[in-house]
Structure 1
Amino acid sequence: MNDTPYLIPAAPVIFEEEIKKSLFITYLAHTPNVAAAKTFVDEIKKKHADARHNCWGFVAGRPENSMMWGFSDDGEPSGTAGKPILAQLSGSGVGEVSAVVTRYYGGIRLGTGGLVKAYGGGVQQALKLLQTMEKKITTLIKLQLDYGFMPVAQSLFSQFGVLEVEAQYSDEVELTLEIEVRELEAFTQTIINKSGAKAVITPVKGIE
C-alpha cells in the first residue's frame, strides 16, 4: 500500500469558452472510484443530451495509478478529445478527478489540431480554477488498555493525529481508532513502550 497522501478536488469546477462558434463546457468533479466517475459522466451526458459531443477522461484513484484511468472521444476523431483530456488530468498530480467536456457544434470545423487544443485547453483552464485538499491514507485499529492509561493514550492521540471512532467500556477500555498508515508503526511502538507492553493494538478485520 502506498501511504503517501495525495491531492483530490475540494469542489466541482465549470469552465466555458467559445472557439470558432463552438461552445465548450468543461466540468471537473471529485470521483473517488471508477463507478463514481462513470456516474458523473452519465449525469453530464443527460444534462447535455442535445450537445454534439460529451467527451471525457478520469483519474479515479491515486494520480499515478494508470489502472484507474479512462477516456472517450464520444464521436470526435480518434485521439482528439479523450486523450488530451486525460493527459491534462494525469499530469496535474490530482487524484480522484473526472472531466467531461461538452461541445455544442457551431458549424465551423476545427481540424484535429484545433480539437486537441480545445479539449485539452478547456481542462487545463478548469484545473487552474480547481481547489484541492489533501487525502490522507488511513487505517482502522483496535486499542485495548487500562483505564489508568487513558490520559497518556489521549495525549498520544493528539501527537499522532489519531481519531477516536468508537469506544467500549468494560473491565478495560477498547477503542476503535483511525490513524494515518505512515504513523501506525511509530504510534504502536510508543503506546507499547509507554504502557509497559500492557496496551494491545490489533488491526480491524477487513482493513489492510
Structure 2
Amino acid sequence: MWGDIAEQAELLEAGDKTSTHFLASIVPAPSPQNEATFPRLLVVDGQQHLTTLSLALAAIRDHIADAQSDEAERIDEEYLINKCKSGNDRLRLLPTQADRAQFAAHICGTPADQPTGDSVTAAYKFFRQKPVQAEYPAAQQDVFRLEQAITSRLTLVAVTAERGDNVHRIFESLNNTGLKLSQADLLRNFLFMRLPTHGEDVYKSTGFPCRTV
C-alpha cells in the first residue's frame, strides 16, 4: 500500500493530474443501528483497507500537528472523526472489537499502552516514520501530496448491499480469493450477523472475535 501511495505522490509532484490507482473493492451494507440523523454502514468486506488508510492519515496529521495545527485539525475532521460526537460515534470508522481500543488511541490522540506485536500500532508507526525517511523528504508540500494521494488518487469501488441481501454469502464469496477462513470463522461471522442489535453485548460477554461486527 505504501508503494502505491508514494507512487501517486510522485506523480502529483511531476504534475500528473489524472492518474489513479485501483486499490480494492469494499462492500458496505445498511446497519441495523442506522439513524436518520446519523447514518451508519456495516462494512461487510474491506475493513482492513479502510483501517490502514485511516491510520496513514492519522500519521500524516500527527506529523504536521506542531507546525500546522490548523491543517492537522482539518485532516482530523474531514476524514477521521465526527467532531460533535463522543464515544464510539466519534470515530468515522469503527473497527472490530479486538483492534478498537488501539485504533481509537491513535485516531483520538489519547496515548495507550501498546501491546507487543499489536498490528494497529505497527501500521501507525510504519506510516509515522515514512515522511521523515531519507528517500521521501519531510517538506510540508511532500506530506500534503501524500494526503492528496490517499484521499483522491487511490480508488476504492463500493459494492453496496441492499437491506435483505445475504451479506454473509457475499462475505464468504469475496474471501474465497484471500486467506481461507475456517468453518469456525464463517460460522462465528454468520452468528454475529444474526445478532444485529445486540452483537456488541454478546461479544463482550463471550470474548468472541469477529471480523464483520
TM range (shorter): under 0.3
TM-score (norm 1): 0.28
More relative contact order, 1 or 2 (CA 8 Å, 6+ apart): 2
TM-score (norm 2): 0.28
Higher helix share: 2
Higher strand share: 1
